[in-house]
Structure 1
Amino acid sequence: MEEEIKHRTLSVNGIAMHVAEKGRGPVVLLLHGFPELWYTWRRQIHALAALGYRAVAPDLRGYGDTEAPAAVGRYTCHHVVGDLVALMDELGLGEEEKVHVVGHDCGALVGWYLCMFRPERVRSYVTLTVPFRPRNPAMKTVEAMRALFGDDYYICRFQEPGEIESEIERIGVRNVLRKILTDRKPGPPMWPKGEDFSRRPGWPLALPSWLSEEDLDYYTSKFEKRGFTGGLNYYRAMDLNWELTAAWTGAQVKVPVKFIVGDLDMTYTTLGVKEYVHGGGFKKHVPLLEEVVVIEGVGHFINQEKAEETNSHIIDFIKKF
């Protein structure tokens, strides 16, 4: 009988963190995005463990069964990277031991901060959907997004504490999760005020083959219990991160990197991203970028939608290190 995924709660950086793990060998740290959980990596965990790796997937600060501090100021890049370094210590890794890191969506941003702040702890980094973007010293992060995409851009809409939480409560947690996880519309994601997509013609949408009603049940149960505020606070801390990272203006990320994205991904199809990724800008800031993989016909949740193909790309890269 196949060994089950193990779950435990560890004390890291002053919070209780839920961790799912399986396998023995070099550690692969899997960092989920919004609105997800450790569960997004369920197919990667089994595949990595079967090949001699120790797959470790935490519920990040504010998510699922991990503690969720209320204050936005406790979700800065320094807090979340501190969580990961403390997690490595709790896993029994010494100061000289490195981990492979795989990040998706907001988890990919956390991964980039880890690589920038503590490169000596990272063996390799596979980033899904989100390339590294250097700090713009002239304009705060959310201000720049508002100037480019307007007030309805999802990150701009997430800024006011309590506002989007009230909309989610009105629309329904399951409806919101269903919409976000199944959305395949290219381009910058918009969330216009007052929009109730659950009342659109044709709703509810049929779930794709990679996401079952049972999967949606799991996500829904955890977000109904924990709420969305913790996850939203990552976006609300973006301007604070901009202030805190002034000393890293112009810094390069110097760990081996592989970037994987779907050609329908909402980030990849946002204005200017393809040009940055393929035109030399990405490589300039990440000199050890070894490979860019674009998978055709795939949306944002690539590690779930194309699990086997994503697994193959991850494993092909990390086994080199």
Structure 2
Amino acid sequence: MAPFFPNDIFTDPRITHQSATLNGHNYHYLLGVPKEGVFSHTVFLIHGWPDISAGWRFQIPALLELGCRVVCPDLMGYGSTDAPRVPPESLSLYTFKRAADDIEELARQLGAKTIVLGGHDWGGMVVWRTVAWKPQLVTHVFSVCTAYTPPSKNYVSTADIVKKVPQFGYQLHLASPEPEARITSRNDIRQFLKGVYNGRGPSGERVFSPEKGVLFENLPKIGETRLLSEQELEYYTDQYHRNGLHGPFNWYRTREANWRDELELQTTKITIPSLFVQAQRDVVLSPALAAGMEQYVSDLTRREVDATHWALWERPEHINRILREWFTDRVLGGGQSKL
């Protein structure tokens, strides 16, 4: 029996809540299956921060209409997936390698020998790295907002990256103990999410600065966000309040752990059919960061959307059109789109 979720935003009978034990930890995932129960491909959709599996709520139905089965897990530490504390647990539970292993195991449990893999934000980094870790598993890959960057043989700290990319300064703050210690109540989490999802105060105050991180003094001032309905906001707040922010913020503490893992990778090239969708008004993952991808991604399709970082919600019709065209051309072999 599927678990009960307060303020559940899913009314499509083709989409159900499921759970699975993956390499020793419990994961929650959304499972979408075409009405007839017949599908041509299995598509995994991987969310980012601060998001959950529901971040793909507008894309799941579109992919179902293309005849695909869709799997959207909550990543480690998010939503209704386990959120192990570090310490005593190992930070390696929050690495890209661990995410790739868990994706592979969930695909195995679902009987999918190969998958199409899509990601957004941190999910984009997860899918690019999963292609490298699991080349026999992933046949096609796409990323919204997150450009491919190759692994480095030399360790570069987040602090050193921020010197060259100042809008990544927030990562230093989120990796510190302060934000998770100060944003704990349900109301604080709700205000924080509203602010990150483009909500503003009465005088335009923001709760999040790409260069500085969380602006705590503005937390009580933030008004409603236009990106989520009240029901969706309550759903997200419930999911984030379930385990607090420790798990999601651990993803910002894994740079060295990821680097050590990636020293074992055999290739930095992505050769499978790949799609990158740039959000033109993304102030963090800006278009400049996607320059030169072709030297590492040999079969790359580029598309753009007039949106901020939350392109999946702001421009769902545009995103879905891009996915429909790419899936029809590169994944399905042409002429199989039902949209």
Q: TM-score, normalised by structure 2?
A: 0.82
Q: 1:192 to 1:12 in 2, by over 3 A?
A: closer
- Alignment-mate amino acid for residue 74 of structure 1: L
Higher deviation after alignment, 306-315 or 82-91: 306-315
Please give the residue correspondences for 1:26-37 in structure 2 after superposition, counting only pairs within 5 Å.
Answer: 26-37=41-52
1:261 aligns with 2:278: yes
Q: Is the 8 A contact 1:34 1:231 kept in 2?
A: yes
What is the CA distance between 1:135 and its match in structure 2?
A: 2.4
2:314 paired residue number: 305
Could you tell me which residue of structure 1 aligns to residue 203 of structure 2? Answer: none
Measured after TM superposition, the shift of residue 183 of structure 1 is 6.1
How far apart in 2 are the matches of 1:13 and 1:266?
Answer: 36
1:122 aligns with 2:138: yes
Cα distance, 1:313 vs structure 2:
0.9
- Structure 2 residue 119 is matched with structure 1 residue 98: no
Deviates more, 1:98-107 or 1:166-175: 166-175
C-alpha separation in 2, matches of 1:189 and 1:183:
15
What is the aligned partner in structure 2 of residue 277 from structure 1?
290
How far apart are the structure 1 equivalents of 2:190 and 2:258? 31
What is the CA distance between 1:19 and its match in structure 2? 1.2
Q: 1:152 to 1:61 in 2, by over 3 A?
A: closer
Deviates more, 1:309-318 or 1:245-254: 245-254
* 2-structure distance, mates of 1:266, 1:244: 29
Of 48, 52, 61, 2:67 maps to 52
1:88 is aligned to 2:104: no
SS for the counterpart of 1:215 is helix
**Aligned residue number for residue 169 of structure 1:** 184
The answer (yes or no) to whether the contact 2:132–2:267 under 8 Å persists in 1 is no
Percent identity, aligned pairs only? 25
Superposed displacement of residue 3, structure 1: 2.6
Deviation at 1:206, TM superposition (A): 3.8
| More displaced 10-residue stretch of structure 1: 125-134 or 176-185 | 176-185
Cα gap change, 1:163 to 1:257, in 2 (>3 Å):
same
Q: Distance in 2 between matches of 1:73 and 1:6?
A: 29
TM-score (norm 1): 0.87
Spell out, residue by residue over 1:193-219, the C-alpha distance to the aligned partner (whole angstroms, 9 max, x if none). Answer: 7642225xxx433422x4111111110
How far 1:140 moved relative to its partner? 2.0
In the alignment, residue 150 of structure 2 is paired with which amino acid? P
Stretches of structure 1 lacking an aligned partner (at least 5 in a row): none
Q: Counterparts of 1:264 and 1:303 in 2: how far apart (Å)? A: 13
Evaluate the alpha carbon distance shift between residue 194 and residue 267 of structure 1 in structure 2; reply closer, same or farther with a 3 A threshold: closer
Q: How does 1:204-215 map to 2 (within 5 A)?
A: 204-208=222-226, 210-215=227-232
Aligned mate of 1:286, from 297, 306, 315? 297
Going from structure 1 to structure 2, the CA distance change for 1:121 and 1:311 (only over 3 Å counts) comes to same
Q: How many residues align?
A: 304
What runs of 5+ residues in structure 2 fail to find an aligned partner? 1-10, 201-205, 332-339
Label 1:119 to 1:188 Cα distance change in 2 as closer, same or farther (>3 A).
farther
Q: Deviation digits for residues 166-187 of structure 1, max 9, x if unmatched?
A: 23237810111011112699x9
SS of the counterpart of 2:72?
Answer: strand
Equivalent position of 1:234 in the other structure: 251
Aligned to 1:15: 25
The alpha carbon displacement at 1:277 in A equals 2.6
Distance, in Å, in 2 between the alignment partners of 1:168 and 1:191 is 16
Alignment match, 1:148: 164
Whichever residue aligns with residue 61 of structure 1, its letter is M
Counterpart of 2:335? none
1:267 deviates by 3.1
| One-letter amino acid of the structure 1 residue matched with residue 327 of structure 2 | I
Describe the shift of the 1:152–1:46 C-alpha distance in structure 2 as closer, same or farther (beyond 3 A).
Answer: closer
* 1:28-84: CA deviation from partner (whole Å, max 9, x where unpaired): 101001111111111111121122111111111111111112232321222111110
Q: 1:13 to 1:285 in 2, by over 3 A?
A: same
